[in-house]
């Protein structure tokens, strides 16, 4: 059995009865899914983490991460319309590169989606706990959670992050009710989220002080450890902030549930990426200009903190409340993506086939959604935000590298195959996406790189012991 056996382009969209997803989404749902996934913990919470690593030069970190993601987004846009099936980068790799590479990418996507959902759940918990503190201090109602249930064991007196676990299961329950219903609610919440960020920019930008931008690049450009051993610099921050930009890849996992994939997928992927880049640069500029990064760099709710420090408690409350209400859109998008990757890998036989069963009433893969929720809720209960964000980035960078390579491979192998969207300058964009992602991976913390390699060593063991001999393509 060849390790590089490939799916044919014709077989990618042919599926057996009982293992097909229902086409119910249109391009507005996809753009909302993309913006809902991209605009979330990255800008609400990780802007503080990034500023702590790069200082005001975090603005450059945002630009670098955004440029790499733009190249990856263009690659996704072409491949998703060429192969409109669930599975995203895993499916493209199975067709272009072969089974073992597809397994590595799929295994990396499992890591990405699991840790993204966990990270966002932890970020949401930070805002929720802050909101309860505000209720206590303002209204006198003591509805605060015990410290032991407000954070994981990495925080003093913390044991288990109960709010993070609860929100994960609430979102999973919504996904199991139906894809279109979940996507419609997501679109409404996305509008709220954009309004809250517009409020932040409108209030913070008039307080812009150029002195807050000095020194602009206190930790240099390349990743380097400081006296305490913390790896800082523009690229160290970019490698973490990269987390803030991806999410458009979740759209590609919805290909099989899109009514008109040839048109709608490229609109959803590129539209959400362009919109979010503009939003991010405005919010980052307003935050850095309004307050020294040293003040908000270690906060779990940096945007709300900036509003309070500027004397706008009402705006802080609005941002905090909307974060509580709307951050679950990120959970929804990535939990959706994770369940679809599990679903397709199960349908292909690389994971147990029962994971690919579709509920006949809702048209959703209930088993994979339950399994995904169980996995990420355990992680969210005990994990640290910065550590899991960095490791999630490693999985995504692997997937994006593969997609950039797949774009070039398919241009050479199937140049005449129908493509509803053709990436401009593909021979530049594809390699730029792959090389940019490799450089960002090198800029990740050394411990993250080691954990990622360990994760894939475990994955290869699973592949050789189970997946290779159970793959449907080999029957």
Residue 332: the pLDDT is: 81
Most confidently predicted of 157-171, 356-370, 450-464:
450-464
How sure is the predictor about 389, in pLDDT bands with cuts at 50, 70 and 90?
low
> Directed axis angle between helix 179-204 and helix 302-309, to 10°?
30
Residue 462: the pLDDT is: 95
How sure is the predictor about 384, in pLDDT bands with cuts at 50, 70 and 90?
low
Q: What does the pLDDT average to over 407-428?
A: 91
Q: What does the pLDDT average to over 30-49?
A: 74
Residue 172: the pLDDT is: 85
pLDDT at residue 1 is higher than 60? no
- How many Å apart are CA 472 and CA 475, to the nearest integer? 5
Q: What does the pLDDT average to over 335-340?
A: 83
- How many Å apart are CA 125 and CA 149, to the nearest integer? 10
Per residue in 70-113, pLDDT tens? 898 899 989 988 888 888 899 999 999 999 999 999 999 888 88
312-317, Cβ contacts within 8 angstroms, sequence gap of 24 or more: 312/203, 315/199, 315/200, 315/203, 317/134
Residue 446: the pLDDT is: 85
Where are the extended beta strands (E) located within 286-389?
A: none
Residue 125: the pLDDT is: 83
Residue 319: the pLDDT is: 77
Residue of higher predicted confidence among 158 and 239: 239
Residue of higher predicted confidence among 362 and 410: 410
Separation in Å, CA 201 to CA 45, 58, 196, 287, 306: 15, 17, 9, 8, 11
Residue 178: the pLDDT is: 66
pLDDT at residue 47 is higher than 70? yes
Residue 383: the pLDDT is: 65
Separation in Å, CA 296 to CA 52, 257, 265, 304: 8, 41, 37, 10
Residue 55: the pLDDT is: 86
Most confidently predicted of 10-24, 285-299, 326-340, 409-423:
409-423
pTM metric for this prediction: 0.80
Mean per-residue pLDDT over the chain, rounded: 83
pLDDT at residue 387 is higher than 70? no
Q: Which residues contact 36 (CB under 8 A, 6 or more apart)?
A: 186, 187, 189, 190, 193, 247, 329, 330, 332, 333
Residue 147: the pLDDT is: 78
Nearest to 164 by CA among 214, 122, 209, 105: 122
- Look at 12-21, 113-122, 295-304, 434-443 and tell me which has the smallest mean pLDDT: 12-21
The DSSP symbol for 224 reads E
pLDDT at residue 403 is higher than 70? yes
Q: CA torsion sign, 467 to 472 to 473 to 474? A: positive
Quick count: other Cβ atoms within 10 Å of Cβ 158? 16
Q: What are 258's strand-pairing partners?
A: 25
pLDDT at residue 194 is higher than 80? yes
- Look at 11-25, 235-249, 407-421 and tell me which has the smallest mean pLDDT: 11-25
pLDDT at residue 423 is higher than 70? yes
Residue 103: the pLDDT is: 95
Share of the chain above pLDDT 90, in %: 15
């Amino acid at each position: 059995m060849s390790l590089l056996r490939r799916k044919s382009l014709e077989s990618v969209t042919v599926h057996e009865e009982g293992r097909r997803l229902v086409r119910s989404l249109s391009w507005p749902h996809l753009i909302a899914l993309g913006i809902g996934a991209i605009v979330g913990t990255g800008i609400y919470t990780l802007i503080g983490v990034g500023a702590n690593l790069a200082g005001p030069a975090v603005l450059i970190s945002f630009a670098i991460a955004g440029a790499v993601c733009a190249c990856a987004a263009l690659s996704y846009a072409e491949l998703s319309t060429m192969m409109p099936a669930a599975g995203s980068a895993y499916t493209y790799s199975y067709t272009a590169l072969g089974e073992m590479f597809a397994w590595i990418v799929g295994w990396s996507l499992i890591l990405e989606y699991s840790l993204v959902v966990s990270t966002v759940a932890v970020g949401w918990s930070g805002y929720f706990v802050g909101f309860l503190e505000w209720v206590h201090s303002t209204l006198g109602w003591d509805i605060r959670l015990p410290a032991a249930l407000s954070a994981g064991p990495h925080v003093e007196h913390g044991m288990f992050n109960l709010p993070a676990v609860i929100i994960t299961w609430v979102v999973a329950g919504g996904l199991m009710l139906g894809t279109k219903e979940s996507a419609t609610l997501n679109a409404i919440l996305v509008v709220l989220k954009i309004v809250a960020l517009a409020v932040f920019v409108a209030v913070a930008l008039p307080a812009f002080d150029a002195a807050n931008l000095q020194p602009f690049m206190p930790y240099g450009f390349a990743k380097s450890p400081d006296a305490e051993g913390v790896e800082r610099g523009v690229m160290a921050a970019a490698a973490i902030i990269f987390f803030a930009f991806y999410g458009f890849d979740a759209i590609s996992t919805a290909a099989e549930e899109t009514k008109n994939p040839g048109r709608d997928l490229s609109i959803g992927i590129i539209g959400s990426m362009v919109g979010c880049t503009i939003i991010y640069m405005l919010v980052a500029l307003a935050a850095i200009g309004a307050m020294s990064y040293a003040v908000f760099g270690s906060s779990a709710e940096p945007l709300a903190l900036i509003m309070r420090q500027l004397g706008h408690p009402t705006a802080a409350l609005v941002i905090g409340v909307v974060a509580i209400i709307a951050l679950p859109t990120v959970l929804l998008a990535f939990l959706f993506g994770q369940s679809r990757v599990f679903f397709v890998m199960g349908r292909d036989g690389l994971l147990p086939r029962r994971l690919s069963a579709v509920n006949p009433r809702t048209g959703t893969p209930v088993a994979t959604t339950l399994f995904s929720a169980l996995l990420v809720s355990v992680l969210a209960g005990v994990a640290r935000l910065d550590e899991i964000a960095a490791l999630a980035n490693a999985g995504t960078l692997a997937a994006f590298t593969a997609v950039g390579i797949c774009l070039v491979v398919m241009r050479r192998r199937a140049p005449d195959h129908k493509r509803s969207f053709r990436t401009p300058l593909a021979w530049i964009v594809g390699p730029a996406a792959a090389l940019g992602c490799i450089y960002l991976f090198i800029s990740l913390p050394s411990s993250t790189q080691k954990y990622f390699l360990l994760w894939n060593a475990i994955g290869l063991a699973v592949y050789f012991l189970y997946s290779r001999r159970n793959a449907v393509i080999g029957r």
